[in-house]
Structure 1
């Protein structure tokens, strides 16, 4: 009896290890690209080699950082099982950092169905970043950062780092998309990936990611349209998530005809104006600007005025561009729902307040601080 008791702890330890997974016997899924063609889902699965990149942010240039496998299927789940057929080890999904949808898959209304399929896998996290592209998915997923940085540090896998320097396009994850797609008045603003060759090495062009535009999707119509160029710039002035961005204006009185200013600390406010049979909105934005300093006070005040007017114009341009796609890009309806629910119940149509080009009564941008310590304002009510 005593001998049996002595061996009992060892049996308990062995029993606890029987269902564990050995890390070296698994592949780690890091990114997924999803297309839809010929009535089939096409998945591009990116497997990365952690042994090559774990010890340094500059991996061995002779070794591949990632491989991309391709599988097809009639359903999204079938695609995974077809992918398993060509794999030697078990696939671990808990390291998935991003998903890229092809623009065609979103246009064919497959986006939400795929997201819903994803969240059934218990290993997946709701913090997975999401993108859309019209570039070849395999090419996008084999693109590595500049100067051979680790693929785990790319703009797609880790968008928050470069966002601190330039916040034009905000990243979005699964959790935020699910919230947006479950509300009639919401639209998801999803970053759009392009392939750029504006970098070069001694071996030739160095292909990199570029994110300069967004795609709008919502519950009623999964693909509303594409905001790019000047049409997208107003987004950054209507969110407190903007850490740092730039605005360039044409100004006399400086050495160069154009002056670039760094904009920070964005504080937007949406104020609904409720009437008996209509709702209008006033948009107020306060911000801090770091600009080129001049000893001429009059010139500095003109610069501030020019910055404010340019930002107001960019907000208006973005609003009208999205309105043509039937998108409430600044979530004006949500503001009414939260602050004036009785008016929202009376005037909403299918969960949305009807908007037109005149729904925004005014846009007022105020620079409350210029050049860090110098407080300048051309408005009487500034604090």
Structure 2
């Protein structure tokens, strides 16, 4: 009798354990959101979400030439950000899973009008992680998402979801994460450059047609919760030389209208000095690089490459600075540098400024010194 009772208890307990998993959900029960777009216009919020097949994310199987990874784009509207998201839930068919969100794209309308609301609301949503990449665009966001995949690779191996890989290969505008934007929101004098995404229709093609891809073209200057100014790629050429996150950048070497070659510069080091003269800031900047000769088209000397590169870099740094000031943006964060070292002087200059706190002028940056130390010219000399 005791054995029968013991067996019955064991079977009952086992039954409880087995039936305890009846409501467990599998990967197929979710829609994985990998990117979100936010637009704001005429008091209405429009939300876009990019969905991808979780099985495709790690896929490396060969497919046909036309078979880019499949992307689904959802869209909804609302009077508030979360009302728009809740409207999206009504048509999502399955649970939307936000833990894999890798990028947030803001329209120009959102950047100019409601950016503080977005950056306050988004982190309150517990599934959204702070390491999400942040972009801006003037393109239709749904078109960006539809063309975000490339070739027959994993759909998250691209500029939108993994911009750091491309930045390490050729540095221009540094990608920025949500946690950096949030941390800098209350920093005095801080300017964040939000990379701007555009569509490039005819750079790549396969056997049948051209493939539209994404390109990072310029940036929006975000300061004190406003991102009213945008810069194209040409206007921000000097940023890569001042940014310590630059990993690899190329200087074209030309003289008298003739191209001599190209110089690769790496390992930037920067020293900034700001002094006050007659109550105005005077800035000196010294930047050092290691150089590697990558291309020689005409007989040249390493010293010649060095001198041309130093002059060109200094010119681009000054030009970008002045362009920023004309657009009321301190793109090199000199004001933030002064605030950290001389907060009293910063407050005095800000209070006296008639330009929304921007006290720098086009001639505040007086001296830009550039030093390029050429390490080698690869396995060849300076002859083509």
Q: Determine if the TM-score, normalized by the shorter chain, exceeds 0.5.
A: yes
Change (3 A) 1:58 1:280: farther
CA distance in 2, matches of 1:58, 1:245: 33
Normalised TM-score (structure 2): 0.86
Q: Is the 8 A contact 1:224 1:325 kept in 2?
A: no
Q: Is the 8 A contact 1:333 1:352 kept in 2?
A: no
Change (3 A) 1:345 1:218: closer
Alignment-derived partner of residue 377 in structure 1: none
The structural deviation recorded for 1:144 is: 4.0
CA distance in 2, matches of 1:137, 1:289: 39
The structural deviation recorded for 1:147 is: 2.4
Q: Pairwise mapping of residues 185-224 of structure 1 onto structure 2 (< 5 A)?
A: 185-197=189-201, 198-219=203-224, 222-224=226-228
Q: Pairwise mapping of residues 321-336 of structure 1 onto structure 2 (< 5 A)?
A: 321-336=323-338
Change (3 A) 1:75 1:368: same
Change (3 A) 1:340 1:36: closer
Structure 1 residue 182 corresponds to structure 2 residue 186: yes
Deviation string for 1:51-107 (max 9, x for gaps)? 234232756765852200111111000011100111221111100000111112222
Gaps of 5+ in 2: 380-384
Q: Pairwise mapping of residues 244-259 of structure 1 onto structure 2 (< 5 A)?
A: 244-251=248-255, 257-259=259-261
The structural deviation recorded for 1:44 is: 1.2
The structural deviation recorded for 1:199 is: 1.4
Gaps of 5+ in 1: 375-383
The structural deviation recorded for 1:234 is: 0.5
Normalised TM-score (structure 1): 0.87
The structural deviation recorded for 1:224 is: 2.9
Structure 1 residue 68 corresponds to structure 2 residue 68: no
Change (3 A) 1:91 1:299: same
Q: 1:139 aligns with which of 139, 143, 164?
A: 143
Structure 1 residue 80 corresponds to structure 2 residue 82: no
Alignment-derived partner of residue 234 in structure 2: 230
Change (3 A) 1:152 1:367: same
CA distance in 2, matches of 1:9, 1:359: 78
